[in-house]
Chain A
């Protein structure tokens, strides 16, 4: 269980997250939605420790993660994976080196890492013949899948996805959504997704709406279209009138 209590994050005196409280259930997929610039990525990066909160706490399985030492953080990163918006593959490395990077850097030999990389690429439906290609030779969808394979190599129990379908065509988006759901079902991981794509509701268990630095709605995805919460009602229908103000 990821538990976030009274989380506040300020940038130059501006509160992006303001006393935010949220509980993300184990082994489930939760999507966090909200307007652009509401702080969704800030929330995700705070969970994984890439950003430090101004105040408040984030605990995973009752372990506080905002005040970890460097050594504890290394162990934490083995249990928590992050899929970046544009995959963030290292462009000077091949697909094999990108996916196996964490293992290679921690002393495993290439011949030990190779079968593991092939296995993870197969999980994301990529063939091993792309292993010697560079990220610049791959399509956007392939890059995202390589990014997911790179995250899976350390067997995380939690995966955070930052807008995994941004910039992808509807067919590739569907492939990525199905892949995320498949990962969650097969590997029993807890998934937290940031998305603007309403199609994601078909694949996730829970939906959280972030507005003005706080969670205004949290509920099951299956009943979201019946919800009378004014924030979620306005947001998912794209209405211009309602409690969510235009920028």
Chain B
């Protein structure tokens, strides 16, 4: 709420927001591609092994698509971004804290909250759905490549089943989750960064805590969001 209020009362720093979206989002894209592609491949392999026992190999495509859109895509993307960008936010703000750069902002009549925290939280919340969409696509592509390379399942049926059974609600639910995860990553990174004390060791500690707390918070939030979205029909 304070972030939104700050945007309306003090204005949005568009240039800084764009920079943070690039740092959190664009710069994480290669990591997202690699992790979701390989996870999609592995998910397809494991699903195929299970489905073949009950003769349901034809459903491989939609199983991978549901897994990637509803759970793995948002969660895996969030955990990768937390490791990469959540830690970077905590390290950057932590270093600024111990080198008195945050105090310097205060003495220059600049609110550190508006200057440092608001653009990061907004950037994290806004860019995560795009990254997640990216992750969903490459995860499903990973499954398709499995079908194509191993020829254990027909690539055409893989795609037809996705078209027939995957709904927009599956994707929207995942994207709603990703907004919440983006907020959590940026909030935890900023909080741990601002709590930093005690020099280089303190920065290291804050960075580690930002990743650990962020990942745990994402997994816990994922459970509650899944329940809420399921009840909401998504």
Q: Which residues of A contact B (CB under 8 A)?
A: 45, 48, 50, 74, 77-78, 80-82, 84-86, 88-91, 101-102, 105-106, 150-151, 154
Q: What's the nearest-Cβ distance from chain A to residue B175, in Å? A: 31
Which of A48, A85, A90, A105 interacts with B107 by CB under 8 Å? A48
Most buried by A among B96, B103, B107, B115: B107
Would A105 and B104 count as touching, CB distance under 8 A? Answer: no
Question: How close is B15's CB to chain A, nearest CB, in angstroms?
Answer: 11
> Inside 8 A of B104's CB, which chain A residues have their CB?
82, 84, 88-90, 150
How many residues of B are in contact with the other chain, CB < 8 A?
13
Which residues from chain B contact A106 at a C-beta distance below 8 Å? 109
**B residues at A contact (CB < 8 Å):** 96, 99-101, 103-110, 115
A150 contacts B100, CB within 8 Å? no
Nearest-neighbour CB distance to chain A for B29, whole angstroms, equals 22
Q: Which residue of B lies closest to A103 (CB)?
A: B108
Q: Is the CB of A77 within 8 A of B109?
A: yes
Asked if B115 and A105 make an inter-chain contact with CB atoms under 8 angstroms apart, the answer reads yes
Known contacts A84-B100, A85-B100; is-contact A50 B107 (Cβ 8 Å):
yes
- The 9 A-B residue pairs with the shortest CB-CB distance in the complex, in nearest-first order: A88-B104, A88-B100, A102-B108, A82-B107, A74-B109, A77-B109, A84-B100, A105-B110, A88-B101
Q: Which among B96, B103, B109 has the greatest number of chain A C-beta atoms within 10 A?
A: B109
User: CA separation between A220 and B61, bound complex, in Å?
Assistant: 85
Hey, which chain A residues are within 8 Å of B100, CB to CB? 84-86, 88
A101 contacts which chain B residues (CB < 8 A)? 108, 110
> For residue A74, which residues in chain B have a CB less than 8 angstroms away from its CB?
109
Q: Which residues of B contact A78 (CB under 8 A)?
A: 109
Complex CA gap A105/B99 in Å reads 21
The answer to whether B101 and A102 touch across the interface, beta carbons within 8 angstroms, is: no
A-B contact pairs, 30 of them (CB 8 A): A45-B103, A50-B103, A50-B107, A77-B106, A77-B109, A82-B103, A82-B104, A82-B107, A84-B100, A84-B103, A86-B99, A86-B100, A88-B100, A88-B101, A88-B104, A90-B96, A90-B105, A91-B101, A101-B108, A102-B109, A102-B110, A105-B108, A105-B110, A105-B115, A106-B109, A150-B104, A150-B108, A151-B107, A154-B108, A154-B109
Bound CA–CA A85/B98 (angstroms):
12
Max count, chain B CB within 10 A of own CB: residue among A50, A88, A106? A88
CB-based nearest A residue for B10 = A105
Smallest CB separation, A157 vs chain B (Å): 14
Question: In angstroms, how far is the closest chain B Cβ from the Cβ of A11?
Answer: 12
Q: Which residues of A contact B115 (CB under 8 A)?
A: 105
A78, A91, A105: most-surrounded residue (chain B CB, <10 A)? A105
Which B residue sits closest to A70, measured CB to CB? B111
